[in-house]
Chains A and B, each alone.
Chain A
Amino acid sequence: ESGSGAMGGSASLLPRDALGEYQELTFLSKQEILLAYKRFSELLPKEERENACTARIPKSHILMLPELRANPFQHRICHVFSTSETGDDSMSFEDFLDMLSVFSDSATSDIKSHYAFRIFDFDDDGTLDRKDLEQLVNCLTGQGEESRLSSAEMEQLIQNILEESDIDKDGTINLSEFQHVVSRSPDFASSFKIVL
């Protein structure tokens, strides 16, 4: 986790102008980008480490990272940040940096809430409807039959959430309503954070 290890050999593999460009296009600092590069190349087999900038890592490898291993939203995160043409949710180094940038301390709350919306939108239809909210709550309480809320409790909970956040009362939460309710949430900035 410390940044000092990244100052070693891997620094010479990431070209300086690429480093500067990534600093400009993401919210990460130089040390964080170098550390991300180090952790990304560790996930690749040894032969491919030379071309880490252009390689793609399959989803199963990314999910081995300790930061994502215990996260109930790991699949959604990979899906949202992946720019793979084939839809297999594999991530390139730039996708990885994108993800860390959004989850970093210095990202604006606008960006964070935008991506949080996309992560919570399980069916990718642009709104959070009842099914999305149900899946979200199930992710939070854990997999397994005994850790789910009963259907009456789930109904009551979703009713309360919609009451608090659905301003135009159409039964779904769209992006601006989500951003509005999250801007008033005091815990969002500190919980929506991943630091390597």
Chain B
Amino acid sequence: SPSPGLFLLPEEPRAAAPVDFLQELPSCQSARRRRGGTRERRSAPPGTTGSRGAAARTLQQERGEQPTRPAREYPLSIAEKRTLRDFQRADTEHLSRWKKWKKTSSKSLKKALSEVKGLSSYLVLWRHDIHSIEEKFGTGIQSYFSFLRFLVLLNFIIFILMFSFITLPVIISKYGIFNSTSVNISPKNIEDNCTIYEPSGNKGLVYFYTYLKDLLSGTGFLEVTSLFYGYYTIDAVWISIMRYNLPLAYLLVTFSYLALSLLWIIKRSVEGFKQNLVHDADPFQSYCNKVFAGWDFCITDPNAARLKHRSLQCELQTDLQEEKLKQKIAERTMEEKLRIYSLRIFINIIVLAILSGFFYSIYRVTVFSQENSNDIDNVNSQINLLVQYLPSIVITLANFMGPLIFSFLIRFEDYTPAFEIQLTLMRCVFLRLANIGVLLFSLWSQISDCGTDKCKPCGYNYKLYPCWESDVGQEMYKLMIFDFIIILAVPLFVDFPRKLLVTHCSCKLVQWFGLQEFGISDNVLEIIYGQTICWIGTFFAPLLPAIATIKYFIIFYIKKISLIHTRKPAARPIRASSSNFFFFLVLLIGLNLAFIPVGVSIARIPSSKACGPFRNFNTSWEVIPDTILEFPTGLQQVLFGMASEAFAVPFFMIICIIMFYFIALAGAHKRMVAQMKEQLVLASRDKMFLIRKIAEAQR
């Protein structure tokens, strides 16, 4: 579209300007010199180091105003970089001693850092495996395995945190190491009924089947181990003369693992996103990104290269068609638009209805499972296990059927193909994360079910849930175990038989069905679902991150084997940057969702009085105000002042003002960029015009 300034000038015929003039322009000369002067190299007689040195020197003088960069950051060959480095060294000869010492020390520091980096690259987990996957399948699929590695590390660090600050002191005190003892203060002013808690534990001889059942459902012998909240029924630990405040530590470690996860995720997602967002075009959909950064230079396998060529061709053609489709959409008539919008509203209502159906069934099943599994009647142990796992089974079924239904329905909504994929993905994300929310909500409705005075003395339903935190922990544990079983079972019982069928049976139907694609988004949603469960469950079951670490460790190898042997790569290419963005976005959503149940449990629901470190407090949160009251009065006033309205309202207003300032600044920058672009276009036209005039005048 022509810029407004050009309306004043008549359109000059765009004949080509003489090429030799263009070659003599200063900007062209500097670009050629920066190339290292291949032409000059080839035409110069051998042995003329002087000319190469001159080229390097002028190159450095050009950038004289900027601080000199190390030689390796110049786009020259090694021989030229050598001469440049010698010149730089000669230049620094006449600097003062202080500057020389600074230069040499910074150089040796950089060298030491690069040595450390080189050595520590060997410590990276699965370096070789991920490199071979990258070579065979490209960077898109490799990014999924990098996510798995990230989650293994994250869970391991969280486990170390929880173990060293919570489990270790309790274990030390229980075995009396370092002269430690534990302090047990029975709760005052509480009815005795609330403090009765008798987990079955290891009572004598048990059948092996009961042992297995306890392992799978977290009851029985597992309930009294350090895995669950109920083990930590200690109020303080004395380690020789130091008093270790366990309730405060428990709460602070919970906050810190949530904060650590948040900071680490934000740091990782910003790393891969170091570009300015001044422009408003979508960076993932830009053609330049697809063409200039389209080929994965790390692919070594010829088959993979062939697939990549085909998928690139497919992608470019689809995008070009989509662009034409967008033009058609813009030309829709009013009645067509009305019809399509009403159809979309109708289908969205159907989607909402289906979601509510799933949520209601999860609610009913959870209530049923909680009511029936707490019966003392353990005769029908198999049915009992099934009843206990019923919520997990229903959630997994919903997670499986949801995407199928959504991808069927979205065809009627008449969106562009790219948007269809995105919308289906968002609906699946919402379904998965909301399922966990509904499960927790139904659990809480049971725990806080205060009809008919069931929770009068203690504030919660003490008869069914004497130690309700352990119960929630058990539910999260069951969800995690079942998720793991499903991820193990699908390759074993679905993918491998399918692969066998496809390779050995040549009937047309089977061949048309083919192998399953390695869908990155489905796999990513799976592991994020598991990670959200881990984040929520760690407050109620402190050793859950250890189980998550082992789970993701094993999943890496399962997915790798399944990818290599039983899956075919996706037809539509996955780019590392967009899958990176998707992964960290959904991970952040999962983390933010995890804040809600943990926050509600800490702040709203009264902590159980029969188990756990918070027996002597109303809610778990009360540890913090209690501890602050023991601080000196000055500090107390400051802290209470920070939490009051007199501080919060001005603070909020200042944040708003700063935000508005940055928004205005961004708008100003955008306008300036647009103006500069216009000026560049005008300058280029001026240049062509002048060159043509000069060429004419010369004739």
Q: Which of A9-17, A37-45, A108-116 contacts B (4 or more CB under 8 A)?
A: A108-116
Report how far A22 CA is from B78 CA in the complex, Å. Answer: 8
Chain A contacts of B522 at CB under 8 A? none
Report how far A103 CA is from B298 CA in the complex, Å. Answer: 10
Q: Mark A11-49, 1 if CB is under 8 A from B, else 0.
A: 000000000011111110111100000000000000000
Given contacts A140-B295, A164-B288, A167-B677, contact A29 B114 (CB under 8 A): yes
Q: Which of B274-282, B534-542, B559-567 contacts A (4 or more CB under 8 A)?
A: B274-282
Q: Mark A170-196, 1 if CB is under 8 A from B, else 0.
A: 100011001001111111101111110
Interface residues of A in 137-193 (CB under 8 A from B): 137, 139-142, 147, 149, 153, 156-157, 160-161, 164-165, 167-170, 174-175, 178, 181-188, 190-193
B577 touches A187 (CB 8 A): yes
Interface residues of B in 67-94 (CB under 8 A from A): 70-73, 75, 77-79, 81-82, 85
Report how far A175 CA is from B29 CA in the complex, Å. Answer: 12
Given contacts A1-B131, A186-B289, contact A140 B82 (CB under 8 A): no
Q: Name the contact of B281 in the complex, choosing from A139, A164, A168, A191 (C-beta under 8 A).
A: A164
A185 touches B289 (CB 8 A): yes
Given contacts A29-B114, A126-B31, contact A185 B292 (CB under 8 A): yes
Closest chain-A Cβ to B277's Cβ sits at a distance in Å of 9
Q: Name the contact of B316 in the complex, choosing from A21, A114, A157, A167 (C-beta under 8 A).
A: A157
Q: Name the contact of B309 in the complex, choosing from A85, A101, A142, A161 (C-beta under 8 A).
A: A142
Closest chain-B Cβ to A135's Cβ sits at a distance in Å of 12
B312 touches A25 (CB 8 A): no
Closest chain-A Cβ to B588's Cβ sits at a distance in Å of 18
B291 touches A186 (CB 8 A): no
Nearest opposing residue in chain B for A164, CB measure: B288
Chain B contacts of A111 at CB under 8 A? 73, 75
Closest chain-A Cβ to B87's Cβ sits at a distance in Å of 13
Given contacts A71-B297, A147-B313, contact A136 B291 (CB under 8 A): yes
Given contacts A29-B118, A137-B316, A142-B306, contact A181 B77 (CB under 8 A): no
Q: Mark B44-87, 1 if CB is under 8 A from A, else 0.
A: 00100000000000000000000000111101011101100100
Closest chain-A Cβ to B238's Cβ sits at a distance in Å of 51
Q: Name the contact of B273 in the complex, choosing from A70, A136, A186 (C-beta under 8 A).
A: A186
Report how far A141 CA is from B296 CA in the complex, Å. Answer: 13
Report how far A141 CA is from B573 CA in the complex, Å. Answer: 13
B313 touches A175 (CB 8 A): no
Nearest opposing residue in chain B for A159, CB measure: B287
Q: Does more than half of chain B's interface fall in helix, strand or loop, or is it mixed?
A: helix
Q: Name the contact of A66 in the complex, choosing from B293, B294, B300 (C-beta under 8 A).
A: B300
Report how far A185 CA is from B281 CA in the complex, Å. Answer: 11
Which of B32, B288, B577, B680 lies at the interface centre, i.e. has the most chain A CB atoms within 10 A of its CB?
B288
Which of A83, A156, A190 lies at the interface centre, i.e. has the most chain B CB atoms within 10 A of its CB?
A190
B42 touches A87 (CB 8 A): yes
Q: Name the contact of A95 in the complex, choosing from B77, B131, B273, B310 (C-beta under 8 A).
A: B77
A108 touches B77 (CB 8 A): no
Chain B contacts of A108 at CB under 8 A? 73
Chain A contacts of B681 at CB under 8 A? 167-169
Interface residues on A, range: 35 or more
Chain B contacts of A193 at CB under 8 A? 297-298
Report how far A170 CA is from B28 CA in the complex, Å. Answer: 14
Q: Mark A69-96, 1 if CB is under 8 A from B, else 0.
A: 1111100000001010101000000110
Report how far A21 CA is from B89 CA in the complex, Å. Answer: 14
Residue B332 lies at the interface, judged by CB distance under 8 Å to chain A: no
Chain B contacts of A184 at CB under 8 A? 275-276, 279, 283, 286
Residue B650 lies at the interface, judged by CB distance under 8 Å to chain A: no
Nearest opposing residue in chain B for A185, CB measure: B289
Residue A120 lies at the interface, judged by CB distance under 8 Å to chain B: yes
Residue A57 lies at the interface, judged by CB distance under 8 Å to chain B: no
Chain B contacts of A23 at CB under 8 A? 111, 114
Residue A50 lies at the interface, judged by CB distance under 8 Å to chain B: no
B31 touches A165 (CB 8 A): no
A69 touches B300 (CB 8 A): yes
Q: Mark B112-135, 1 if CB is under 8 A from A, else 0.
A: 001101100110000010011000
Chain A contacts of B623 at CB under 8 A? none
Given contacts A153-B320, A191-B297, A193-B298, contact A168 B292 (CB under 8 A): no
Chain B contacts of A71 at CB under 8 A? 295, 297, 299, 305
Closest chain-B Cβ to A129's Cβ sits at a distance in Å of 11
Residue A67 lies at the interface, judged by CB distance under 8 Å to chain B: yes
Report how far A120 CA is from B70 CA in the complex, Å. Answer: 26
Chain A contacts of B287 at CB under 8 A? 157, 160-161, 164
Interface residues of B in 298-348 (CB under 8 A from A): 298-302, 304-306, 309-310, 312-313, 316-317, 320, 323
Which of A101, A178, A188 lies at the interface centre, i.e. has the most chain B CB atoms within 10 A of its CB?
A188
Report how far A31 CA is from B116 CA in the complex, Å. Answer: 12
Report how far A184 CA is from B285 CA in the complex, Å. Answer: 12
Chain B contacts of A185 at CB under 8 A? 275, 283, 286, 288-289, 292-293
Nearest opposing residue in chain A for B111, CB measure: A23
Report how far A103 CA is from B300 CA in the complex, Å. Answer: 14
27 A-B pairs (CB sep. < 8 Å): A3-B122, A23-B111, A25-B85, A29-B118, A67-B300, A70-B305, A72-B309, A73-B295, A73-B297, A85-B46, A94-B78, A98-B78, A120-B292, A133-B291, A136-B291, A147-B309, A157-B320, A160-B287, A161-B291, A169-B684, A181-B288, A184-B275, A185-B283, A186-B284, A190-B576, A191-B139, A191-B295
Shortest Cβ-Cβ A-B pairs, 9 listed: A142-B309, A186-B577, A168-B684, A29-B118, A70-B305, A141-B313, A187-B293, A188-B293, A94-B78
Contacts A120-B292, A181-B292 known; 13 new A-B pairs at CB < 8 A: A1-B131, A30-B118, A31-B118, A97-B78, A111-B73, A140-B295, A142-B310, A156-B320, A164-B288, A169-B685, A183-B275, A186-B284, A187-B293
